[in-house]
Amino acid sequence: MKDISKATIDRLPLYLRTLRMAQDEGLDVISSEELGRRLEITPEQIRKDLASFGQFGKKGVGYYVNELKKSISSILGLDNHWNMAIVGIGHLGSALANHHSFISLGFNLVALFDHDPAIVGKTINHVKVEDVADLEKRVKELNIHIGIITVPGQFAQDVADRLVKAKIRGIWNFAPIRMKVPDTMHIVNEDLSIGLSGLSYHISRKF
């Protein structure tokens, strides 16, 4: 496949979410103009993005909502039904464990890990919290593909190293540090402090 820009890839989940909403509204067909109106993206950009992955829709008719939804889900790899584990079951880890959208997106939360004896053994959203000492063994046994790190920053690199050693396929990092991982490991960093600080900057300009 030819190189696809990050901006195009970042827009695909927006298209998918909008198509799901359109389907919930009972729409069977949607035009690029209507998609653009809902997302404030030009129809030309939408058609260009989708053309990067093949031919979709019918000229003069539009896109069949269910068909395009399935196609974008496949492009994003959501039909792989990835198995996930969360490491660090504090407030954030617990909130993520209770996030029901994972299932609708095709992700399976199969394991939770923590080191605190007061937390290990508890059950959150039907998943039992296990001792992080067993992390590598359980990653292999449960065929876990994605590791979600929600531990304090001082412990995050060690967790990442262990996930890499266990041959995890991707990391979603919520710890406030930049991880050192092999180039072959794909990692997405979600730094809440950066997001809030950026928001603070923009709203402070309004006063």
Give the annotated binding-site residues for NAD(+): 88-93
Cα–Cα dist 112/94, whole Å: 9
| Residue 190 near residue 173, CB atoms below 8 Å | yes
Binding residues: 88-93
119: nearest Cα among 105, 137, 107, 131: 131
Q: What are phi and psi of 119, to 5 degrees?
A: -105, -40
- The three-class DSSP label of residue 137 is helix
Residue written as tokens 């919520």?
A: 174
Please give the structure tokens belonging to residue 173: 């990092």
Strands (E), the chain: 29-30, 63-64, 83-87, 108-114, 123-124, 127-131, 146-149, 170-173, 186-189
